[in-house]
């Protein structure tokens, strides 16, 4: 298989670059045709790789690309999940080369979606081709590649609930996470959940002269800032009543185990140009960004932000707020607690509106399953070192539903690095990582099929 991989390396990369040229931004309707074109591209490549029953499954939003190869119903079935949509590329001016004109520089492919998730998803399509061409597919496989992960996967949730037979499998396999380093492979064993909402604070019924009215009426931006600031206390605990009620505390043993994963705080600060980190008192940086819940403002606006100065008290102020959740918080519970609290702390001088967006539940995956052990052996084979289990702070909303609706655990075989800058300007994916993924995935299939016997 490795001969086939090296013989076809350039073509694999070129095909990925072709997909990266299509700006499949699911959040912005302006890119609708491009998102649809990307779905067709994925379907075509799956067919070319040897998949049967390839189709675009219509949803209330962007289609889900499905395809499978059932070699023997008696053998186990791997269901591969990934996404072909990407985050918006804004701000464009901070990119060193245009986000949808991929270039390879210093061994990395630069483009929006290079790592998250086109590059990682495409490793699976190519790994499948490699196994097909070498008569080495050892079990059944189904592909389900969606186009709305970056906007909350709501239509996929409906699709999963309605297509349980079609999606019947033994394990879910996903590459949409990262690892600690190219010398320290890791397997993600947990994802945080999410509660995302937007708030609107309204003061006077129109924008006002800030001299004539300033000091006498509430400024919605000032009020919103105060309200947001009050949601963390001096220890950076979140002050929403009941916020931590269902948070599972880890035992000292579990925390000690976590602390064994290699982490260099100085390097971490250096990479981000920070003189200090910030977070909840009593927890390490690794804990703060994985096993603890958070509340963050993702965007805040209102009033005058154009050139020069304008003296104005705005009528309205807005913010987008996300809360990352951990077991056993639920997004419905936290959204409700936030809403109640936000309304209760608003002074009478303003009116507030809370608009919930999407949510997702946190998940922890087992490390004692056959699938996890197979994945660990696969990394060990291709990297030469055992991978470390690591809980991640990111979210993939559908993973918890794979468990609750299909009864399936996921194996999160990520090959990205923090330095890939997903969601940021100049996102990249190492050619090394892309090729390593294509090498490692067939090993997973082989070990998984063997160990399932």
Residues in touch with ligand BES (CB under 6 A):
116-117, 149-150, 152, 176-178, 191, 194, 358, 360, 392, 394-397
68 binds Mn ion (CB under 5 A): no
Between 64 and 317, name the residue whose CB sits nearer to Mn ion.
Answer: 64
Between 243 and 434, name the residue whose CB sits nearer to Mn ion.
Answer: 434
Which partner from the list Mn ion, ligand BES, none does 126 bind, CB cut-off 5 to 8 Å by kind? none
148 binds Mn ion (CB under 5 A): no
- Residue 323's φ and ψ, nearest 5 degrees, are -120, 125
Given candidates 85, 117, 129, 361, which one binds Mn ion under the rule CB under 5 A? 117
Between 255 and 423, name the residue whose CB sits nearer to Mn ion.
Answer: 423
Which partner from the list Mn ion, ligand BES, none does 219 bind, CB cut-off 5 to 8 Å by kind? none
| The three-state (H, E, C) secondary structure of 389-451, written as one string | EEECCCCCCHHHHHHHHHCCCEEECCCECHHHCCCCCCCEEEHHHHHHHHHHHHHHHHHHHHH
Question: Minimum distance between the CB of residue 113 and ligand BES, rounded to whole angstroms?
Answer: 10
Which partner from the list Mn ion, ligand BES, none does 194 bind, CB cut-off 5 to 8 Å by kind? ligand BES
Which partner from the list ligand BES, Mn ion, none does 177 bind, CB cut-off 5 to 8 Å by kind? ligand BES
Q: Which two tokens stand for residue 299?
A: 């965007």
Q: Enter the DSSP assignment of 112.
A: T
Between 77 and 410, name the residue whose CB sits nearer to ligand BES.
Answer: 410
What is the three-class DSSP state of 316?
strand
Which partner from the list ligand BES, Mn ion, none does 397 bind, CB cut-off 5 to 8 Å by kind? ligand BES
Query: What number of CA atoms fall less than 13 Å from residue 80's CA on the CB side?
Result: 33
Question: Minimum distance between the CB of residue 367 and Mn ion, rounded to whole angstroms?
Answer: 22
Between 149 and 231, name the residue whose CB sits nearer to Mn ion.
Answer: 149
176 binds Mn ion (CB under 5 A): yes
Between 89 and 258, name the residue whose CB sits nearer to Mn ion.
Answer: 89
User: Euclidean distance between the first and final Cα of the chain, in Å?
Assistant: 23
Question: Minimum distance between the CB of residue 114 and Mn ion, rounded to whole angstroms?
Answer: 12
Between 77 and 290, name the residue whose CB sits nearer to ligand BES.
Answer: 290
Question: Minimum distance between the CB of residue 34 and ligand BES, rounded to whole angstroms?
Answer: 18
Which partner from the list Mn ion, ligand BES, none does 410 bind, CB cut-off 5 to 8 Å by kind? none
Q: Is 76 within 8 Å of 170 (Cβ atoms)?
A: yes
Q: Which of 15, 34, 85, 129 is catalytic?
A: 85
DSSP H helical segments within 98-181, as ranges? 118-133, 154-162
For residue 175, give every residue at least 6 positions away whose Cβ sits within 8 Å of its Cβ, in sequence order, or none.
Answer: 82, 117, 120, 121, 123, 124, 412, 413, 414, 415, 437, 441
Q: Which of 149, 154, 420, 427 is catalytic?
A: 149
154 binds Mn ion (CB under 5 A): no
With CB atoms as reference, the residue minimizing the distance to ligand BES is 394
Q: Enter the DSSP assignment of 41.
A: H
Size of interface with Mn ion, in residues (CB under 5 A): 3
Which partner from the list ligand BES, Mn ion, none does 152 bind, CB cut-off 5 to 8 Å by kind? ligand BES
357-395 as b/e, with b when 16 or more CB fall inside 10 Å? bbbbbbbbbeeeebbbebbbbbbbebbeeebbbbbbbbb
Q: Strand 193-202's sheet: what is its strand order? A: 294-302, 316-325, 193-202, 351-360
Rounded to the nearest 10°, the torsion over CA 151, 221, 200, 294 is: 50
201-226 as b/e, with b when 16 or more CB fall inside 10 Å? bbbbeebbebeeeeeeebbbbebbbe
Between 197 and 223, name the residue whose CB sits nearer to ligand BES.
Answer: 197
In DSSP terms, 313 is beta-bridged to: 208
Look at residues 112, 129, 143 and name the one whose alpha carbon lies nearest to residue 19. 112
Question: Minimum distance between the CB of residue 241 and ligand BES, rounded to whole angstroms?
Answer: 25
Q: What beta strand segments (E) does 137-228 contain?
A: 140-146, 171-174, 186-191, 193-202, 208-209
Question: Minimum distance between the CB of residue 79 and Mn ion, rounded to whole angstroms?
Answer: 17
Task: Give the whole-angstrom CA distance, residue 287 versus residue 304.
Answer: 39
Question: Minimum distance between the CB of residue 173 and ligand BES, rounded to whole angstroms?
Answer: 14
Given candidates 34, 68, 85, 116, which one binds Mn ion under the rule CB under 5 A? 116
The verdict on whether 361 is a catalytic residue reads: no
420 binds Mn ion (CB under 5 A): no
Question: Minimum distance between the CB of residue 194 and ligand BES, rounded to whole angstroms?
Answer: 5
Task: Give the whole-angstrom CA distance, residue 394 versus residue 422.
Answer: 11
Which partner from the list Mn ion, ligand BES, none does 360 bind, CB cut-off 5 to 8 Å by kind? ligand BES
Task: Give the whole-angstrom CA distance, residue 196 versus residue 198.
Answer: 7
The stretch near Mn ion (CB under 5 A) out of 63-71, 108-116, 191-199, 263-271 is 108-116
Where on the chain is the footprint of Mn ion (CB under 5 A)? Answer: 116-117, 176
Kindly list the catalytic residues: 85, 149
């Amino acid at each position: 298989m490795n001969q086939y991989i090296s013989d076809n390396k350039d073509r694999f990369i070129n095909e990925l670059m072709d997909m990266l040229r299509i700006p499949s931004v699911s959040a912005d309707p302006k890119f609708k045709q491009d998102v649809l074109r990307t779905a067709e591209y994925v379907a075509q490549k799956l067919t070319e790789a040897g998949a049967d029953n390839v189709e675009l499954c219509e949803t209330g939003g962007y289609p889900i690309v499905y395809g499978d190869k059932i070699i023997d119903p008696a053998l186990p079935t791997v269901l591969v999940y990934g996404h072909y949509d990407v985050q918006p590329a804004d701000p464009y001016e901070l990119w060193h080369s245009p986000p949808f004109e991929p270039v390879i520089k210093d061994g990395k492919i630069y483009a929006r979606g290079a790592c998250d998730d086109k590059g990682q998803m495409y490793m699976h399509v190519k790994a499948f081709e490699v196994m097909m061409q070498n008569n080495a597919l050892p079990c059944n496989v189904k592909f389900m590649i969606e186009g709305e992960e970056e906007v909350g996967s709501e239509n996929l949730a409906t699709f999963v609930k309605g297509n349980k037979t079609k999606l019947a499998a033994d394990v879910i396999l996903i590459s949409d996470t990262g690892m600690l380093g190219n010398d320290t492979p890791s397997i993600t064993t947990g994802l945080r959940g999410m509660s995302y909402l937007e708030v609107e604070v309204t003061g006077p019924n129109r924008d006002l002269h800030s001299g004539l009215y300033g000091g006498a009426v509430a400024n919605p931006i000032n009020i919103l800032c105060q309200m947001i600031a009050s949601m963390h206390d001096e220890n950076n605990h979140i002050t929403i009543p009941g916020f931590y009620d269902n948070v599972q505390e880890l035992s000292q043993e579990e925390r000690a185990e976590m602390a064994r994963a290699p982490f260099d705080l100085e390097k971490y600060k250096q990479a981000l140009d920070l003189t200090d980190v910030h977070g909840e008192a009593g927890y390490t940086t690794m804990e703060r960004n994985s096993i603890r819940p958070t509340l963050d403002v993702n965007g805040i606006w209102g009033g005058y932000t154009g050139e020069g100065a304008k003296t104005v008290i705005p009528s309205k102020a807005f913010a987008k707020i996300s809360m990352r959740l951990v077991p056993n918080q639920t997004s419905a519970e936290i959204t409700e607690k936030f809403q109640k609290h936000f309304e209760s702390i608003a002074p009478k001088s303003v009116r507030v509106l809370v608009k919930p967006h999407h949510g997702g539940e946190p998940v922890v995956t087992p490390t004692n399953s056959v699938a996890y052990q197979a994945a660990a052996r696969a990394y060990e084979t291709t990297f030469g070192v055992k991978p470390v289990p690591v809980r991640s702070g990111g979210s993939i909303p559908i993973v918890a539903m794979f468990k609750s609706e299909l009864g399936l655990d996921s194996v999160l075989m990520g090959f990205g690095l923090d330095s890939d800058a997903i969601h940021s300007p100049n996102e990249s994916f190492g050619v090394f990582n892309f090729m390593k993924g294509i090498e490692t995935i067939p090993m997973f299939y082989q070990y998984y099929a063997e160990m399932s016997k």
